[in-house]
Structure formats: structure tokens, C-alpha cells
Amino acid sequence: MTQDTQAVAAGAGDKGLKGGALGLVASVVIGMSSTAPAYSLAATLGFIVVAVGVKAPAVILLAFVPMYLIALAYQELNKAEPDCGTTFTWASRAFGPWVGWLGGWGIIAADIIVMANLAQIAGSYSYKLVGADGLADSTFWSTVAGVLWIVIMTYICYRGVEVSARLQYALLGIELVLLIAFAVIALAKVWSGNGADSSIHPALSWFWPGGLGVSDLVEATLLAVFIYWGWDTAVACNEETADPEKTPGRAAILSTVLLLVTYALVALAAVAFAGVGTSGIGLGNPDNGDDIFNALGPAVFGHSFVGQAFEVLLLISVLTSASASTQTTIIPTARTALSMGAYRAIPRSFAKIHPKYLTPTVATIWMGILSIVFYVGLTLVSENVLGDSISSVGLMIAFYYGITGFACVWFYRRQLLKSARSFWMQGVLPGLGGLMLLAAFLKSAYDYSKPDAGSTTLGGVGGVFIIGIGTLVFGAVLMIGYAVVAPAFFRGRTLVKGTSDLVLAGTERDPLFGLPDSGDQSIVIAPDLSNEPPTVPPEDVVRRRRD
């Protein structure tokens, strides 16, 4: 066995991460925290209302459909191969190294871009919390605070996934309590007749998208997909989870369902209380689009001592939401890079594991560095460019989620007719999710290419399109360049399409790694190595590489 294949010989699930560190509850918490519920709603719901009005709750439901279908794909693929590379590894198995590499790049690029926005919000709200509104409005000082948040959260991720999980319990708890309180109080005021002048009584028709134009519906749905994005962090931590074949997939499903309930309730309450008007606290007011909670908080909670306390807590919830998501955005990116490094798809140094904390050290540090460079760089260029870059994230989300849906269908294609469950859970539903996201990707790319689609243009083409598609093209260039320098992965030497890794017998992994239609299923090596293939030195089979 060559040096390039030694990392594979020990099995895809043996990269040196701390196994069994997370249970189901911790995985669900990490999955939900990664979506930044309070911040996502604060920064996105207003724009959804501008596009579809009172139909915002319907769009929340509609966006859940592809998310749930892709969560099923994650669950089924994770059962076969619980690898922290997720889309990168699974797409490489199904479609080969080139598609897999681009899937991994989609994850990394999307996370680095969104980190800029999360850091900006965390920095700005840090000042607002202490009443320093002048500093909050300063681009320079908000950037300084945002960079500091990235450094802090990178260090926490460096220290270990268990430390990260414990912090997420507290941060997510604050968010959910405040969001539920906001929704309950707002709805109670509307139904009791004590709402705002613009309040509207809820109607069942709000949950049905009938009457909406295709462009408005697609635009709003892609925005809503963004607020769901992040639950896959629960699966990216699969190698650090108890029962890695089952727990991460269940956590992904539970996360999306809980997010649906939270988002639908808050959207219903916000639309009912504030209305969709373009003035005052109306959600259609452009001045409220960046932060609906800042606009609605005083009206919902009132001006009593308790009401003002809730306002402060609501402010804290957005801050903790953005800071928590900053942390949980680093986690999956570092683990994707770890897996890519282990399979030599990127420099092998990214596969290094800290001997004490059992975390991907190089990958975590580089994630923090690149996030800071991107954030500071775009802030210096233009805040409009930074805004368009955030909008472009939706394209990358649809790209790599869609690849995962199609990978599931192809991964299990030979056994889809063996049972009704296989047909639906491994074929039809993941494939439908992939098709929905492909359609959203193509339609949004076309719409974003128009010069009036975002805040910037270049040569008559919208800046959102240039940044989103340009990032994917840039990734393809990097991929080709690295394939020339280090071709092992791209020639199928380290992660083979349609085959699986050597694993030791008695490792309690059922089913064994490998595609169902693989002509050569996993070679099971006896614990005493008595039946290893003659061409495979025993030390290559059992070696754990942590370098």
C-alpha cells in the first residue's frame, strides 16, 4: 500500500477525533444552534415579507420541504458511512473525486462567507448591549469586535467539541425562551385586541402559497432555506457522536422539525402583530428589514420594567444567536477540511489532530484565519459587496445540499427496489429534495444575474451572481491546480469511487462501509490480521495517522 493510501486503510471513521463525546440531545442542540434561529429570523423575515407579504408562514413551511428531504439523505448516507466530510466523502463515493471535492468546497466557501455576516452582527450587538450605539454604527469598531468574536469562538472550537456543546446549551436556551416569549405575547395581544394599529388577525390562508408569482416565491423560499441552513453540523460531528451511524441522522431530522415549529410560530406572530405595511413597525418597512426584533421588541413587550427587561433579553438573544452560530460554523468547516486532508484532497496538514483535545487543530485555526481575512477584506472594499456576498450563500447552500440529495439516490441505486422504505427514503424523497434545490439554484442564479438583483454590479451582471457563481468557479480552478500538484486523491488512490475502506472485523459497524452496488464489498480483516491481503502490510491496516 502506498503512502497516499495509508490514511484510508484504518477506516473512514478513524481520524483521531474524540468518539462518543456527543449524545442525541447535544447533537440536536448543535444542529439547531448552527442555524442561529434568533439572528436568522431577525435578519431574514422582513425580506421574506417584502417578497410575499402575509404568505411568509407559507414560505417557511415550503422551505422546510427540501430541507427535510435533504436531511433524510444525510441520515441514510450517514448510516452507510459516518464520515465527518459528509457531502465531500459521500459525493466522492457516489460520483467520483471531482464532484466530491466541489461538494466539500461548497461547504467551506459558504461557511467562510457567512462568518463575515455573523461576526458583523455579533460585533455590532455587543456594543448595543451596553448602550454604545455610536460604536455599533461604526464600521471600524464593529469590525474590531467581530474579529474578536471569531478569535474567541475559534479558540473554543480548538479546545474541544464537548466544550462547544456545553456552551451551546446555554446560548440556544436563551434564544428559544425569548423567541417563544415574543411569539406568545405578540399573539396574545393580537387576539385580545391590544396589538398595534397595524395588527392583523391570523388566517389559515397564510400557510398556503397560492396566488404568489414564481419569481417572488423562489426568491422568498431561497431566503427561507438560508434560515434553516446549519442543521447538518450535527452530522458533521458524526465521528465524535455516540452511535455514529444513527444518532447524527436522527439529530438532523429532529433539528429541522424543531426549527420548523419555531420559525412558523415566530413568523405567524410577527406578521400578525406588525402587519406587512411599509411604514412604522410594519414588516414591509425597508428600515426594519435588517432587524425586525429591534423594531418590534418595544411594541410587543411594552415599556414597563419587565417589558424593558425582555427587550434587553431579546437583544441578548440575537447576540448569542450570532455568536453561537459563529462557533458552530467553524465546527463543520474544520471537520470537512479534516476529512479532505485525511484523503489527501487538500494538504495533509489539515488532517492533524490535537493530542489532548482531539480536535482538528490546523483546520480549525485556518478556518478562523480565512474568516477574518475575508471579513476584513470585504469590509475594506465595500459594505455593499459584503451584503451581496451574504446573499450569494444561498446559491452555495443549494449547490452542496443538492449534490447530497443526488448522491443518496446514486449511492443506493441498486437496492431501491428491494423494499418500499428503500424506494422512498433512499431514492424518491432525497432525489426530490435534490431536484427542488437544483431548480432553486438555477432560477436564483438567473435572477441574481440581473443588474438590479443586489447592491453591486460588474459589467451589467448582478454582484450576487458574480460572487456566488464566481466562488464555485474559483473552487474548480483550485481543484484543478491541486490535482496537478497532488493527484493521488483525484486518481482514486485515497478515496475510491464505488468501493470502501478496509475495516477491522469486530468494530461494531453495521452495515459495513461501502456502496450497496459495489462489486467489491469491504474487505474484512480479522483482528489477528491472519487474512489480510498479501499486498497490504499489516501495519498499514491498523495504523492510526494523526499527523
pLDDT value of residue 162:
65
Task: Tell me the chain's radius of gyration from C-alpha atoms.
Answer: 23
pLDDT mean over 246-270 = 93
Q: Indicate the domain borders of the chain.
A: 22-499
d(CA 189, CA 466): 45
Q: State how far the alpha carbon of 415 is from the alpha carbons of 73, 89, 423, 425, in Å.
A: 15, 20, 8, 11
Q: How far apart are CA 249 and CA 254, in angstroms?
A: 9
167-181, 312-326, 377-391, 458-472: which has the highest mean pLDDT? 458-472
Q: What is the DSSP string of 186-229?
A: HHHHHHTT-S-TT-----GGGG--TT--HHHHHHHHHHHHHHHT
Question: Given a cut of 80, is residue 248 above it in pLDDT?
Answer: yes
3 pLDDT band, cuts 50/70/90, is: very low
- What is the average pLDDT score of the chain? 83
Confidence of residue 9 (pLDDT cuts 50, 70, 90): very low
pLDDT band at 239; cut points 50, 70, 90 = confident
Q: Alpha carbon 159 to chain centroid distance?
A: 21
Over 60: is that where the pLDDT of 221 sits? yes
Cα angle 516, 243, 230; round to 5: 85
Amino acid 161: pLDDT? 66
Instruction: Name the more confident of 3 and 72.
Output: 72
Per-residue model confidence as pLDDT tens digits over 103-158: 999 999 999 988 888 888 888 888 888 888 899 888 899 999 999 999 998 988 88
As a residue count, the chain comes to: 547
User: Can you give the pLDDT at residue 519?
Assistant: 34
Range scoring the smallest mean pLDDT among 143-147, 309-313, 335-339, 504-508: 504-508
Cα gap 475→470, rounded to integer Å: 8
State pLDDT tens for residues 51-102: 899 999 999 999 999 999 999 999 999 998 889 899 999 999 999 999 999 9
pLDDT band at 539 (very low <50, low <70, confident <90, very high): very low
**Residue 545 — pLDDT band, cuts 50, 70, 90?**
very low
The pLDDT assigned to 76 comes to 94
**Would you state the pLDDT for residue 143?**
92
Q: Which three cell numbers stand for residue 176?
A: 428559544
Instruction: State the distance between the two ends of the chain, measured CA to CA, in whole angstroms.
Output: 18
CA 313 to chain centre: 26
In which band, very low, low, confident or very high, does the pLDDT at 168 lie, cut at 50, 70 and 90?
A: confident
In this model, does residue 498 exceed pLDDT 90? no
> Alpha carbon of 440 to those of 54, 88, 109, 314, 433: distances in Å?
22, 21, 19, 33, 11
Return the pLDDT at 527: 38
Predicted confidence (pLDDT) at residue 462 exceeds the cutoff of 80: yes
pTM for the complete prediction?
Answer: 0.82
Q: Which of 40, 36, 41, 64 is nearest to 267 (CA)?
A: 41
Q: What is the DSSP letter of 425?
A: I
The three-point CA angle 64-68-72 to 5° equals: 175
CATH topology of domain 22-499: Amino acid/polyamine transporter I (1.20.1740)
Q: What is the mean pLDDT of residues 496-505?
A: 47
> Is the dihedral angle over the CA atoms 510, 514, 515, 518 positive or is it negative?
negative
More confident residue, 17 or 457: 457
**What's the Cα-to-Cα distance from 315 to each of 175, 184, 328, rounded to whole Å?**
10, 17, 20
301 closest CA partner among 391, 182, 200: 182
Is the pLDDT reported for residue 2 higher than 70?
A: no
Other C-beta atoms within 10 Å of 474: how many? 12
**pLDDT, tens digit, 9 for 90 and up, residues 434-446:** 999 999 899 889 9
**Is residue 532 scored above 50 in pLDDT?**
no
Q: Cβ of 384: how many Cβ atoms within 10 Å? A: 13
Most confident of 74-78, 295-299, 305-309: 74-78
Per-residue burial over 144-159, b if 16 or more Cβ lie within 10 Å, else e, is ebbbebbeebbebbbe
Q: What is the pLDDT of residues 364-377, one digit of tens each?
A: 999 999 999 999 98
Element (H, E) at 391: helix 383-411
Beta bridge partners of 525: 504
Average pLDDT rounded to a whole number, residues 197-207: 93
**Is the pLDDT at 21 greater than 50, yes or no?**
yes
CA distances to 155, 346, 376 from 351, rounded to whole Å, are 18, 9, 27
User: Given this model, what pLDDT does residue 165 score?
Assistant: 65
CA–CA distance, 116 with 114 (Å, rounded to integer): 5
Confidence at residue 546, expressed as pLDDT on a 0 to 100 scale: 32
Distance CA 507, CA 415 (A): 25
Question: In whole angstroms, what is the distance from residue 82 CA to residue 237 CA?
Answer: 9
Question: Between 13 and 215, whose confidence is greater?
Answer: 215
Note the pLDDT of residue 14: 61
pLDDT at 524: 38
Determine the pLDDT at residue 513: 35
pLDDT exceeds cutoff 80 at 426: yes
344: left (phi over 0), alpha (psi -120 to 50) or beta: left
- Model confidence band, residue 525 (pLDDT cutoffs 50, 70, 90): very low
CB proximity list for 287: less than 8 A, separation 6 or greater = 295
Q: What is the pLDDT of residue 501?
A: 43
Distance, in Å, from the CA atom of 72 to the CA atom of 253, rounded to the nearest integer, reads 7
Q: Compute the average pLDDT of residues 224-242.
A: 85
Helix, strand or coil, per DSSP, at residue 458: strand
* Beta partners for residue 503, in sequence order: 524
Q: What is the pLDDT of residue 263?
A: 95
Please name the amino acid found at residue 536.
V
Name the percent of the chain lying above pLDDT 90. Answer: 43
